[in-house]
Amino acid sequence: MNLEQAKAEIKQLRELLNKYNHEYHVLDQPSVPDYEYDKKMRELIDLEEAFPELITPDSPTQRVGGEPIDAFEKVQHTVPMLSLGNAFSEQDLRDFDRRVREGLKEDVTYVCELKIDGLAVSLTYEDGRFVQGATRGDGNIGEDITVNLRTIRSIPLQIKQQEAMEVRGEAYMPQKSFLALNAAKEENGEEPFANPRNAAAGSLRQLDPKIAAKRNLDIFLYGVGQWEAGTLASHSERLQHLKELGFKTNPEWRKCQTIEEVIDFVNQWVEKRPELSYEIDGIVIKVDRIDQQEKLGFTAKSPRWAIAYKFPAEEAVTKLFDIELSVGRTGVVTPTALLEPVKVAGTTVQRASLHNEDLIREKDIRIGDTVVIKKAGDIIPEVVRVMEDQRTGEEEEFHMPTECPACGSGLVRLEEEVALRCINPNCPAQLKEGLIHFVSRNAMNIDGLGEKVIEQLFRENLVHHISDIYKLDREELLQLERMGEKSVDNLLKAIDVSKGNSLERLLFGLGIRYVGAKAARTLAQEFETIDRLREADLQRLTAVNEIGEKMADSVVRYFAKPQVNELIDELKALGLNTEYTGIRKSDQKEDSIFAGKTIVLTGKMELFTRQEAKEKIETLGGKVTGSVSAKTDLLIAGADAGSKYDKAKELDVEIWDEQQLKTALDE
């Protein structure tokens, strides 16, 4: 292929991939399965590697993040990015309406939008190409974060408009991404983010764009900064135009003719707020007509034609009566506040993670304190502050131990970690947590061997290591409390059945650092046997799609340990399967009925466990998610299906029963 042929092919592939990307990330209506997108992306990557002179910043291949940068350059906003005035009550909204009407002396229509809790950014396009992205900063000067914003797949790298245009929006982190990120941080001994907003801001200010690319950020565009060719007469028309250009706009907005309609919209979202998959902290109200906005003008800090109604943060006051320490399976020692039960955001809270000693010192939290708590991002219980004026003098300062509370070994703080960690490989707490993880549903899934039974077996010195599970003796088990013949026989049968599990379950169960259930399946499918995996070097591992250097290095280090290889050999001798038994890459059917579809499981299943159904669907190219949305292609409903079934009917999503799923899988 010569240069001109490559140029034409690259142009065609980019247009196709941009179309697929827009359908998936903006419209929630993918037209092709994931493997087709990946296939075309691979073709484009190969062509650009062969003809590097044809690589451009707006190519879909550039979203994964380039090389780290030294610092962010400053950006002068041509049109200032002003903040909005706040309203905290219905009366504040009525006062805003009165000021607007007095200033205009004519009828007014408002547009109400959800106030996304994220980071305000501006995007500049020239000749239809995304050329610069910046933070709000102080309103006049922001920071150039173009490299990181490119990693957000809902931001179009090209638009069908040649005139220069600067648009504005809110970059945010969806709740699912926030929970996964914090779980990974806790596991690695790193300090978690307090809320999704901080997580989004922290991700966009990473000097290494590859980190931002992994954080699964999203964006909603809500306005225009500079647009010389703009002739649209209203804000609502601008929102529609942004959508037509390919930008992702939030669909939950409404035109209101009166302030009563505005207040009704606000009250509705106070109630509906928990249903969203992202965080909002209020409602933005804007005068719709642009000429009226211009007539009202600005104060020194904010526009007179807009206001932000802020939701009240739901907090509660309770007593912190103790701090408990737990040792995780990776050795991280985590302090947890034990609280007098109190209701927050609809649930009773009795515990709140304190994360690490630095946070306890920063907030000066003491045992016996009266504290204010809330749910960070309405999700995770968090101690907000101490009510120092209620101290009696009997409160006790808390100090993290220097020794592991489980085994007495000295605790260490590894480089760049905020957590204290026990590095004793024989620490009983780590061994026990490792066993609990190994038998868990997403790992070896041994029925009847739950957390309490593991603790009992561990206490009775019947299991200490993974291999001990497969050496359990029937007569010894019968001597234990609450272990009758039937339960023992069922347990031993379940243990024996688990020996036949596919490799990905064993890999996840081993607890290799950074290797979650999805990565375990990817590795198992790629290498097919544990022997091939443990022989793989760093270069071979990083060549696998979705396996980064950090994870690859962890896998190499794990299998370099002599005791790990002894364990693998022992498990093989005990009869455990160490091969991948799922659908291999070479055997995957691209025309599978599930390929490229987003599927939700709900209700009680009888023919499969939920996890079995999920795995079977995913090996055939389907994607299983937890909630029904416009993106959902299929709902599979077991017995007693509830709200997800109702929502699927409302959205006209195709619905199957469990027998239909079985028939499709058998075929």
**Average pLDDT of 190-194?**
75
Does residue 188 sit in the same domain as residue 274?
Answer: yes
Q: Has residue 482 got a pLDDT over 90? A: no
**Average pLDDT of 340-366?**
86
Q: Beta strands of 594-642 (E only): which ranges?
A: 598-602, 623-625, 634-637
Q: Has residue 68 got a pLDDT over 60? A: no
Select which of 7, 11, 19, 115 is catalytic: 115
**Average pLDDT of 406-414?**
88
Q: Residue 514 — very low, low, confident or very high, per pLDDT cuts 50/70/90? A: confident
Q: Has residue 369 got a pLDDT over 90? A: yes
Is 55:44 a contact under the CB 8 Å cutoff?
A: no
Does residue 480 sit in the same domain as residue 540?
Answer: yes
**Average pLDDT of 321-350?**
88
Q: Has residue 409 got a pLDDT over 60? A: yes
Is 197:117 a contact under the CB 8 Å cutoff?
A: yes
d(Cα 45, Cα 40) in Å, to the nearest integer? 9
pLDDT of 202 reads 86
Does residue 433 sit in the same domain as residue 300?
Answer: no
Paired tokens of 238: 């601008």
Assess if residue 626 is contained within a domain. Answer: yes
Assess if residue 194 is contained within a domain. Answer: yes
d(Cα 341, Cα 500) in Å, to the nearest integer? 44
Assess if residue 14 is contained within a domain. Answer: yes
**Average pLDDT of 392-402?**
92
CATH classification of the domain holding 255: 3.30.470.30
Q: Has residue 65 got a pLDDT over 60? A: no
pLDDT of 28 reads 65
Q: Residue 329 — very low, low, confident or very high, per pLDDT cuts 50/70/90? A: confident
Paired tokens of 293: 């906005």
List all residues 6 or more positions away from 655 whose beta carbon is below 8 Å from its beta carbon.
Answer: 634, 635, 636, 637, 645, 648, 649
pLDDT of 462 reads 94
Q: Has residue 140 got a pLDDT over 90? A: no
pLDDT of 53 reads 83
CATH classification of the domain holding 438: 1.10.150.20
Q: Residue 172 — very low, low, confident or very high, per pLDDT cuts 50/70/90? A: very high
CATH classification of the domain holding 659: 3.40.50.10190
pLDDT of 234 reads 93
pLDDT of 18 reads 82
Does residue 93 sit in the same domain as residue 191?
Answer: yes
pLDDT of 227 reads 82
Flag the least confident range among 246-255, 356-365, 375-384: 375-384
pLDDT of 183 reads 81
Count of Cβ atoms closer than 10 Å to residue 385 Cβ: 14
Does residue 468 sit in the same domain as residue 558?
Answer: yes
Higher-pLDDT residue of 194 and 146 is 146
3-class secondary structure, 262: helix
Assess if residue 408 is contained within a domain. Answer: no
Q: Residue 591 — very low, low, confident or very high, per pLDDT cuts 50/70/90? A: low
Q: At which of 292, 310, 328 does a domain end?
A: 310
3-class secondary structure, 618: helix
Q: At which of 310, 340, 370 does a domain end?
A: 310
pLDDT of 112 reads 97
Query: pLDDT tens for residues 73-83?
Result: 888 888 888 88
CATH classification of the domain holding 34: 1.10.287.610
Q: Has residue 597 got a pLDDT over 90? A: no
Query: pLDDT tens for residues 150-170?
Result: 999 899 998 888 888 899 999
Closest of 258, 264, 247 to residue 288, by C-alpha: 258
Does residue 251 sit in the same domain as residue 268?
Answer: yes
pLDDT of 109 reads 96
Q: Has residue 240 got a pLDDT over 60? A: yes
Assess if residue 423 is contained within a domain. Answer: no
**Average pLDDT of 605-613?**
81
Is 116:102 a contact under the CB 8 Å cutoff?
A: no
Residue 115 annotated to the active site: yes
Does residue 324 sit in the same domain as residue 266?
Answer: no
Q: What CA–CA distances, in Å, run from 315 to 349, 390, 473, 562?
A: 11, 17, 52, 51
* Total of domains in the chain: 5
Q: What CA–CA distances, in Å, run from 553 to 74, 262, 536, 543, 557?
A: 36, 54, 11, 13, 6
d(Cα 94, Cα 88) in Å, to the nearest integer? 11
Higher-pLDDT residue of 43 and 32 is 43
Does residue 477 sit in the same domain as residue 528?
Answer: yes
Q: Has residue 138 got a pLDDT over 80? A: no
Q: At which of 276, 310, 344 does a domain end?
A: 310
pLDDT of 229 reads 64
Q: Has residue 572 got a pLDDT over 90? A: yes
pTM of the model: 0.55
Q: Has residue 422 got a pLDDT over 80? A: yes
Assess if residue 66 is contained within a domain. Answer: no
Does residue 304 sit in the same domain as residue 322?
Answer: no
pLDDT of 207 reads 80
**Average pLDDT of 182-198?**
77
CA-CA-CA-CA torsion for 423, 532, 585, 626, nearest 10 degrees? -10
Query: pLDDT tens for residues 194-225?
Result: 778 888 888 888 888 888 888 889 999 999 98
pLDDT of 346 reads 59
Does residue 523 sit in the same domain as residue 599?
Answer: no
119-126 sheet: strands from edge to edge: 129-135, 119-126, 165-172, 218-224
Does residue 481 sit in the same domain as residue 520?
Answer: yes
Does residue 334 sit in the same domain as residue 278?
Answer: no
**Average pLDDT of 32-45?**
77
Q: Which domain holds residue 597?
A: 587-666
Higher-pLDDT residue of 271 and 280 is 280
Amino acid at 523: L
**Average pLDDT of 408-433?**
86
Give phi and psi for 368, each to the nearest 5.
100, -5
Assess if residue 171 is contained within a domain. Answer: yes
- What is the rounded average pLDDT for all residues in the chain? 87
Assess if residue 75 is contained within a domain. Answer: no
Q: Residue 91 — very low, low, confident or very high, per pLDDT cuts 50/70/90? A: very high
DSSP 471: T
